[in-house]
Structure 1
């Protein structure tokens, strides 16, 4: 085995429950500077592994289960595999990236991704010295067999090529093969690798057979890649001749980090998903929030008060609602909250921006009382797990094809309940930040992507800057009895 492939696995668990675009010059310049340091980072990580090789410790199983346990009725444990230990290291496990599974990919019912390698490109909010992934077969109709999987730091932006020194073969319970049951998910063993923050990471999986519909996230705003045959260890990227605007199977990347002490989850719909942000630029509001947290800590954070050391992960699904399931737009907020928020690694806080589709997507829209009651249920469940909740007001949409005066009244009523102060631990007023002061029912023109509902890049940036970072810190309110 090539030395760059050496991995240090820890305990794993298995759980039930295409379009290229040219790289932007500014990204190329930024990432060129970054990647000069990757080889040095990898060498440092390798040195640490060598020094620590004689001292091993098993990582406790709770490290992968967030602040609480996975849903007990949907869990199958996988026992430790051979050599299922990792060198002693400092730091804590936190979320570096995530995406919520939204449904089964159309057209994949029969063949799935059988006989092909999927290379997902994801962007980190925080860095670390070890990494692990979560694969989901939530919408598959049969077992998903993954016989090869790798992780590597990308050699450049918008590229399928990997930095060879960072390529790691992934295992699951000590084995290079994992079978993920229909409706389930699997967490890999950890591998020692220097993962930089604000960097693209390549996660490649090969499946020889079909599991039915491919569990995917359709609005990735990021180019990923597909190769015919098994190409998980191709560092050149030459075999990846097809592109994809989806994330497939992969739902989380966690890192063992000294940069963060916990994870904050952005939970919402297309506005959180960032569907109108510039593709490949990582300009969704949760991306900007992650950058703010890193910058504030680096500069001392004096302007923002007590700044928490958190990684930020995105659990937005376009079209998602609080109350109603949709086969094309994911389970309702009520039904996916545990999986997409509470079961994330080391979650400390959640920002909830959800409810506009309950108003827009139903011919007989839910009234404000039902939406507020649904949000209150989410808050109660978060508090029961000790998770702090920041709630966001719903942003304007006059001019959008779904706008009516009756729907506007519902939005205003929901926002009044949110601003009243007895629903969430803290409130971030996205409505006030984005609305036109001369027409509060509409987005300001510079914050409007053009459809009068979704923000522009500038709008997303304003959303992230509106949130008081110190409000993410601190304990959750006591659970209501």
Structure 2
């Protein structure tokens, strides 16, 4: 075979492969640089997360429209649908993705022309086994950073307890009857709810971000106390700051906060140790995790009083993250004097745990949230300007103060 014939043969094979390859395969294909060289494939990065916190009764026959907020953008998206905490196979009749109408965070209306059908291995319907997650094929839609997406899910039958995120602090919507997932107007979505059903993550393709950072925490990270449907949780505020960085230092932000979550024991949702793989280490493009867990252990039932138990748990998190090349930042536990669960004895434990976080060298870096939010006149309490009234959580100003405390120079890729 002559050289010219060989070249024509290679080109023919390449063209045939590209033409016949299914869209899901072409999504990750690299652009050609001549007949023999291919550029590196575009990479996926996590842009949003809502960790599975428990189960709730299913809504058979309904369509649920989840509103989720991006931290970084890209040329396409893929969505993680979870039946991780379910007990029966989850039947999905349809899943769609669209952009929410800008300036209307409490509306189920989609931007005209943005509605896309998500598939699973090319199929529009799928059944997810109990205990499992499934990720959609790439969905081709330009995804802006700092924007709301609509992820609509139709469940035609009763598939048992629904895996959900209880405290979304975001208006989501239900159309009680029928497959309304492709409806742009949103008029069938007559019921508003404050939970995310089944949807636990969104990745974007081809972003310029250098990876993602995961915030592992409890209700403070989940956003309790911040404004509803405003994306003012401290991880959201961190994402706002990261947008100003050069693209090679920008990170997607994944919020793995669960209200009521504990470091050591199961509370609302699996403990931080039990869910570390599912909610942190297996997420897309993770470079760093910020750990703010423990306040519910020392004030919960049964309360945890052994500082060594906290230290051991933190060490285990760091060890498992380092094994994946992930940097770990430890966050101090914030005050809660004036809250109903506060006692001087528990405050003494909090101070000891914070001393461990600050001084034992467990983490690659420390962010001292306690120092920035405490009242200098009463260090066991939150500054009144940051207190929404329950003396435990934080209002929008407090959430911003926490995000502003994080040293962005510490949020860089790290190799053990």
Q: Structure 2 length normalisation: TM-score? A: 0.90
Give 1:176's aligned residue: 124
DSSP-derived class of the 2:254 partner = strand
1:214 aligns with 2:162: yes
CA, structure 1 residues 340+291, in 2 after alignment: closer, same or farther (shift >3 Å)? Answer: same
DSSP-derived class of the 2:273 partner = helix
Give 1:77's aligned residue: none
CA shift at 1:242, angstroms? 1.0
Separation in structure 1 between the aligned mates of residue 356 and residue 132 of structure 2, nearest angstrom? 37
Give 2:78's aligned residue: 132
DSSP-derived class of the 1:371 partner = helix
Choose the corresponding residue for 1:344, options 283, 294, 308.
283
1:464 aligns with 2:403: yes
1:93 aligns with 2:39: no
- 8 Å CA contact retained: 2:24, 2:122: yes
Q: Structure 1 length normalisation: TM-score? A: 0.78
- 8 Å CA contact retained: 2:331, 2:366: yes
Give 1:236's aligned residue: 185
Between the two proteins, the alignment pairs up a number of residues equal to 389
Deviations 1:1-60 (A, max 9, x none): xxxxxxxxxxxxxxxxxxxxxxxxxxxxxxxxxxxxxxxxxxxxxxxxxxxx988499xx
The more displaced of 377-386 and 251-260 is 251-260
- What is the 5 A alignment of 1:11-50? none
DSSP-derived class of the 2:385 partner = helix
Choose the corresponding residue for 2:330, options 375, 380, 391.
391
CA, structure 1 residues 325+427, in 2 after alignment: closer, same or farther (shift >3 Å)? Answer: same
Separation in structure 2 between the aligned mates of residue 217 and residue 310 of structure 1, nearest angstrom? 23
Give 2:237's aligned residue: 288
Choose the corresponding residue for 1:253, options 202, 210, 214.
202
- Name stretches of at least 5 consecutive residues in structure 1 with no aligned partner: 1-52, 59-80, 299-306
Separation in structure 1 between the aligned mates of residue 92 and residue 383 of structure 2, nearest angstrom? 47
CA, structure 1 residues 357+57, in 2 after alignment: closer, same or farther (shift >3 Å)? Answer: farther
Choose the corresponding residue for 1:322, options 263, 272, 295.
263
1:265 aligns with 2:214: yes
The more displaced of 123-132 and 152-161 is 152-161
Give 1:67's aligned residue: none
The more displaced of 196-205 and 88-97 is 88-97
DSSP-derived class of the 1:296 partner = coil
Give 2:37's aligned residue: none
Give 1:366's aligned residue: 305
- 8 Å CA contact retained: 1:102, 1:217: yes
- What is the 5 A alignment of 1:421-436? 421-436=360-375
CA RMSD of aligned residues (A): 1.9
- 8 Å CA contact retained: 1:57, 1:86: no
Separation in structure 2 between the aligned mates of residue 100 and residue 94 of structure 1, nearest angstrom? 17
- 8 Å CA contact retained: 1:365, 1:407: no
CA, structure 1 residues 161+55, in 2 after alignment: closer, same or farther (shift >3 Å)? Answer: farther
Give 1:165's aligned residue: 113
CA shift at 1:308, angstroms? 2.2
Separation in structure 1 between the aligned mates of residue 348 and residue 19 of structure 2, nearest angstrom? 57
- 8 Å CA contact retained: 1:56, 1:85: no
